[in-house]
A = this chain, B = another copy of it.
């Protein structure tokens, strides 16, 4: 099941004239299997190394991510502080509520913000990128008066 998607990613690379190598295949596998998780490059790297017999370099992961992005299959977003997280374009059916305390990102469906986004695009001559929307705050568990941090 995850294999199907990985194949599509790989195909897209090939179609774009790029080469299909073992590291790339593995990385596509990992990314395809992640579905709507919010993996970071480092996490992809870890899983790829775990999955492959041979070691894979982080730079290769970044370069493959770049390749997949150039083909329009993938996006990376900087939610809140930490590292960037990846999203498959076809899973880009949500936005994020990011907790600045625990860093967790809760997904919110597209429709919730669709009206606002199209309004803003029209009003400000702007083209929103798929998943690149984040509202930062605190989830209830971490609710606190701003400025009263421990």
- Please report A residues at the B interface, Cβ cutoff 8 Å: 69-73, 77-78, 80-81, 84, 89, 97-100, 106, 108, 112-113, 115-117, 119-121, 123-130, 132-140, 143, 146-149
- Alpha-carbon distance between A72 and B146 when the two chains are bound, in angstroms: 6
Residues of B contacting A119 in the complex (Cβ-Cβ under 8 angstroms): 112
Q: A70-B147, A72-B146, A119-B112 are in contact. Are A133 and B136 (CB under 8 A)?
A: yes
Task: Provide 17 A-B residue pairs closer than 8 Å at the C-beta atoms, listed in order of the A residue.
Answer: A70-B147, A70-B149, A78-B80, A80-B132, A97-B126, A113-B116, A117-B135, A121-B137, A125-B140, A126-B137, A127-B143, A129-B138, A129-B146, A130-B146, A132-B137, A133-B135, A133-B136
